[in-house]
Structure 1
């Protein structure tokens, strides 16, 4: 009997062991299957060639990192980067002997007239002259009258903060009206009352925050409503870098889809192939920053509706130009909430809306999406804390400035500014196509951006070749501040109201720059050539550019603490 009990016990233990082993095997193969599915989705979205190239770059960068472990290599690379950093510091953060400098609080505070004098000296420091229209984008000037209106708004609402809506009702009202005016401009379905669903939005500090808020809303919505814990979004390669920032901040996998080489629009077939069960968002631009192309929003809409996913249209750059194209007599394409699959739009009021810097708007088709943008904490000892966007306190003066700018310009004012600015861009594009056989215009720009590249780029160096970055450096010497583009190498100018009167000067100076570069015996060594040429010269170029970009930020945010400069009192 004892022997039978032992056999029964052994049999039971054997079954339990087999059960454990079976469970382990099931878990193992489940994990293998999950990894396999991820790889298949990744390859489907990226394509074999792109995936192989990405893997190659990862291996090369890891190899380069290993090489940096060798003291001789590390010291040489560090020495080169240190010299570049010193050169950047000399250009961006030079010493200004006559300017007031404070690296610690003064023992005795300055009198108000001394502060005024110090501010005057700082405002007179040498800078890029933007007033003549030689700067691409950057300064979206609304004219002297607009500056006077800003100062009036700032003065009346200088201490206001929309976080305290009951204390500053005027700011709350203007905040809501700025959003409502933008929703109306982009043809959102407006709710009949505060309890009805419909178009909704919030103001933000700029286009990047508007994009971040949209991505955060879609991520949280996907988790709450669809159980998606590994979210992915699909964006054109030409989309604004803020989407990459959102992917880093919010843990969203991002797929960059190539654009058509001719039209510069995202390739819809590849967007379709990249969609899977974890996709939470498609993105299009109207227009994009690099070359001013407007993606095929209608085709993206069809995909968004079919797969029941969000579609965000980035109109930060188009802002108060794209909605006015038709009124101003220019061709346009569908881009706003009238396209059924569009669920959100970002629009910068501080660009072509001519509002003070630090002003943008994120809009949604439905309040049911916007609610996922909010941050709400109910267990804080200080009370219930809820904010609509990244910031807690916000400067009500900027909201007042945005509201004043919008109501001052009106439909007629924005229509005329669109006519002037887009007209200037079209004159530049036409001039490049007509008088510069060495250059070509990227895509078919419909709005304010014109990008152009060299037809002989990559055909060797020397006389007759036209490296476009060298043209950019020559234009810089002539006083122009243009943007350098990558993939393909190109330059662009984003036209503003200031550009309208500078078109002829631009085309004249561009002709001179092109002719000078064509006559060069050897490639130049300007800053644009050195920086962007490095990125295309080797597989580790991008890694070195990344390090240089970090050092650039260190220079811009230059650290003076512990104090290294003597405190000067004015």
Structure 2
């Protein structure tokens, strides 16, 4: 990968005529991904810098379509588990998010609730395969039928599972279809830099038809610097990222990805099964891909998160309800997985000795943040935290 990166690190996809090799590889990445997700002859897309940009571009494309039919403020119908990037898109592009609840038992998107929110301003429906907070697959086919019935685009966010999900199906695992073969699905976002084994900064957004992709293009014809055209949010884009992503796809191939997906899901199933047996905690819903979330009705689960962090584990903290999300990768060996389960059992047993004890340290901070009714206070705190990232030693003195 290092040699490939070096060969293309000076190339710039803003100038495809100057760097035809990088342009060709990007086109081939999109074509291969459309094939993986069963796109037809009119399917298309672009590479992006990551899942957030892929989501932003899909939202932008649908905003432009809605504006063309006279909608002043297009609305995105988004289940509560939908990724934060959709909120960012609404913030940047002058759109409105309509959040819908989840099924209280399965934590899947509530299709009936989504249907009730559809109106003349709706520009897209969103489903996850799987969702980031819990690893749950939404009822994709049911939402897609709503899209067909009301002529509304439907986007599947597969940034987390895009390079696992299709290969699990190919490998014989029993999971529902989540690709362009499902009537009504008009776009998909998938990250190559997660389970596609490409370097960070590699993702794709795909569309079932070219008419959708046109909405994400930016063209300025009267600029003094000449005609400016950009297919994505970025201007300059490094061909090195494209070349290494292309190489990852070629190196793995269908068989490699099928074997990789099989290893990941079997590891996740093994860990999840044993954790479900631990008294005091439970796994949210029925995850099907690589991630699952631990929660508790007995004690503050963030206490468990702190205890596991002290043993060297790093989990995502989620809220509403509070939970610890574990994402399984191919790097997790059987021995490491066994150690994780052992540590979860040990830490939980220790907490269960006094389940009502108050949380301390980061657990207390997470718990407080999750319960504050004034979310602006949380936002102010996080902004201060982000500001601190850019503090240097000289500034501290």
Q: Secondary structure at the match of 1:212?
A: helix
Q: Secondary structure at the match of 1:326?
A: helix
1:203 aligned to 2:47?
A: yes
Cross-structure match for 1:396: 239
1:547 aligned to 2:380?
A: yes
Instruction: After TM superposition, give the deviation of residue 519 of structure 1 in Å.
Output: 2.1
Structure (1 or 2) with the greater strand fraction = 2
Structural mapping, 1:420-435, within 5 Å = 420-433=263-276, 435=277
- Structure 1 CA distance, aligned partners of 2:236 and 2:359? 49
Q: Secondary structure at the match of 1:499?
A: coil
Once the two structures are overlaid, the 10-residue window that deviates more, 353-362 or 152-161, is: 152-161
Deviations 1:265-315 (A, max 9, x none): 111111000000000000000000011111111111111111111100001
Deviations 1:485-531 (A, max 9, x none): 1011111101111124321011000011101212247323020x222
How many residue pairs match? The answer is 395
RMSD (Å) for aligned C-alpha atoms: 1.4
1:523 aligned to 2:358?
A: yes
Cross-structure match for 1:52: none
1:304 aligned to 2:147?
A: yes
Cross-structure match for 2:67: 223
Structure (1 or 2) with the greater helix fraction = 1
Gaps of 5+ in 2: none
Q: Secondary structure at the match of 2:205?
A: strand
Cross-structure match for 1:495: 328
Q: 1:526 to 1:329 in 2, by over 3 A?
A: farther
TM-score using structure 1 length: 0.68
Instruction: After TM superposition, give the deviation of residue 328 of structure 1 in Å.
Output: 2.6
Cross-structure match for 1:186: 37
Structural mapping, 1:134-533, within 5 Å = 150-190=1-41, 198-224=42-68, 226-433=69-276, 435-456=277-298, 466-501=299-334, 502-520=336-354, 522-527=357-362, 529-533=363-367
Deviations 1:424-483 (A, max 9, x none): 1111110112x3132111111110001121132xxxxxxxxx221101000000110011
- Structure 2 CA distance, aligned partners of 1:396 and 1:537? 45
- Structure 2 CA distance, aligned partners of 1:537 and 1:364? 39
Q: Secondary structure at the match of 2:268?
A: helix
Gaps of 5+ in 1: 1-149, 191-197, 457-465
Q: Secondary structure at the match of 1:230?
A: coil
- Structure 2 CA distance, aligned partners of 1:209 and 1:294? 22
Deviations 1:346-400 (A, max 9, x none): 0101100010000100000111110111000001011110000011110110100
- Structure 1 CA distance, aligned partners of 2:372 and 2:189? 36
Q: Secondary structure at the match of 1:335?
A: coil
Instruction: After TM superposition, give the deviation of residue 565 of structure 1 in Å.
Output: 7.6
Instruction: After TM superposition, give the deviation of residue 253 of structure 1 in Å.
Output: 0.7
Q: Secondary structure at the match of 2:125?
A: strand
Instruction: After TM superposition, give the deviation of residue 249 of structure 1 in Å.
Output: 0.2
Q: Secondary structure at the match of 1:376?
A: strand
Deviations 1:149-168 (A, max 9, x none): x1021111120111111211
Larger Rg belongs to: 1
TM-score using structure 2 length: 0.97
- Structure 1 CA distance, aligned partners of 2:303 and 2:364? 9
| Contact 1:440 1:453 (8 Å CA) reproduced | yes
